[in-house]
Amino acid sequence: MPVARARLAPLIRDQDHTIGSPDAPVTLVEYGDYQCPYCGRAFPILKEVQARLGSRLRFAFRHFPLSEMHPNAEAAAEAAEAAATQDRFWPMHERLFLHQHELDHDGLLRHAAAVGADPERVARELASRVYEARVREDVTSGARSGVNGTPTFFINGVRYDGLWDAPERLIEALLAAIEPGD
Amino acid sequence: MSRPPTPAAPLAPGTPAPDFSLYAAPDRTVSLRDFRGQPVILAFYPADWSPVCGDQLAVYNEILSEFGRHHAALLGISVDGVWCHEAFSANRHLHFPLLADFEPKGAVARTYGVYRTADGFAERALFVIDREGVIRWSYVSPIGVNPGADGILEALEAMGPAAQPA
C-alpha cells in the first residue's frame, strides 16, 4: 500500500499571494477558508510564526472555501481577490480573519473600504463573479495536492499532518525542513 | 492512548469489487452493480459527526465536479444508520449518498478488508473501482489523518477516458 505523503502541485505560481523572499529556505502554503473557525484560530499563530522566522520563511495563502458549510466563504475569497487587484490582498486577508462573523455582502464591502480598496469596484466585481475562476483554480490545485480539510498546510510542498495549535509546533516542522538532518 | 490494532488488509487492485446493497435513505437502497459502466469511489469512514470525517467529506463535497469530469460516482459508507446519515448529510449539505453499513454491522467493510473489529467501525479507506467493477486503487489512511482527494484523482486519471473495454 503506497503511503506517499500528499504533495503540492504546482509549488508556487506567479498568481499566488506570498509574503517573503522566493529565496527563503522554507515555504509554507496554507489552503484556507475565511469563514472556517479553525483557519481563524490559525491566523494569529501564523502571524507569530512569520514574525519569528523572518526572512527564512516564505508564506503563501490559497483559497479553499467550503461553500456548502460556510455560505459566505466563496464571496469572501472573491472579495480578497478583488482587494488583491487593488494591491490590498494582505490587509484584506487579515481583516477578514479578524472579522469572521461579519462576512455577509455588506460586511465584505465595509472591510474592503476599511483596508483602502474601492468598495464600489469590489461590489461590481463580486456581482459579475470576476474572480470565481481564480478561486476555483486554487480549489482544484488543492484537491489535486491532497487538501484534506481547512486549514491544510504544505511545507516545502509536502503536506504537514502534524499539529499547528501553537507556533512552536509549526516552527519546529519548518526548521526541520530547512535542515533535514537535525 | 492504546495502540491501534494491526490494520486490516484492504482488497488489492485487480480484485473484482464485491457487490453490495445498502440503504442510502429509509426507502432507497443502492447497489454497487447499479454503477457498472462508470467509475465508483468508495469512501469508508469511521462515523458521521466526528470532526475529522466531517472535514474529509466536506472536502470531497466541494470538489464533486472534479470527480464528475471522470463521470465517477462517490459513495460514502459508515456503520451509522440511515436516520443518522440523513441528519448528517442535511447538516453538511452533502451532494452524494451516504450508505448505511448497519445490519449486519460493518458487513461490507469486512468484505473489503477495512473493518476495525476492536473499534466496531471502518477504517478511513478509499477504493476506486473501474467501469467493469474491478478495484483499481485502494488506500487505508493512518488513524487521525484525513485522506485528501489526490490519490482518487490520480487513480481516475490513470484509468483513462471512457469506452475502453478491459
Return the closest-CA partner of residue A146 out of A5, A2, A28. Answer: A5
Quote the CA–CA distance of A31 and A91 in Å, as a whole number: 18
B84 in catalytic set: no
Q: Which residue has the cell 469511489?
A: B41
Query: Can you list the domains of chain A with their CATH numbers?
Result: 24-170 (3.40.30.10)
Residue A86 half-sphere exposure, CB side, CA atoms within 13 Å?
19
Interface of A to B at Cβ within 8 Å reads: 1-3, 6-7, 64-69, 139-140, 143-150, 152, 159, 161
Quote the CA–CA distance of A178 and A53 in Å, as a whole number: 11
Quote the CA–CA distance of A46 and A28 in Å, as a whole number: 10
Q: Would you say A18 and A60 are in contact if contact means Cβ atoms under 8 Å apart?
A: yes
ipTM value: 0.87
Domain boundaries of chain B, sorted by first residue: 37-158
Spell out the CATH class of B37-158.
alpha beta
Lowest mean pLDDT of A4-18, A118-132, B13-27, name the range: A4-18
pLDDT of residue B1: 43
Q: What would the pLDDT profile of B120-163 be if each residue is shown by its tens digit? A: 999 999 999 999 999 999 999 987 888 999 999 999 999 987 65
pLDDT of residue A8: 79
Q: Would you say A145 and A7 are in contact if contact means Cβ atoms under 8 Å apart?
A: yes
pLDDT of residue A128: 98
Please answer yes or no on whether A68 and B92 come within 8 Å at the CB atom.
Answer: yes
Quote the CA–CA distance of B122 and B115 in Å, as a whole number: 4
Interface size, chain A vs chain B, as Cβ–Cβ contacts under 8 Å: 69
Please answer yes or no on whether B52 and A146 come within 8 Å at the CB atom.
Answer: no
- pTM, 2 dp: 0.91
Q: Would you say A45 and A28 are in contact if contact means Cβ atoms under 8 Å apart?
A: no
pLDDT > 70: percent of chain A = 95
Helix (H) or strand (E) holding A175: helix A167-178
Please answer yes or no on whether A64 and B55 come within 8 Å at the CB atom.
Answer: no
Q: What would the pLDDT profile of A56-101 be if each residue is shown by its tens digit? A: 999 999 999 999 999 999 999 999 999 999 999 999 999 999 999 9
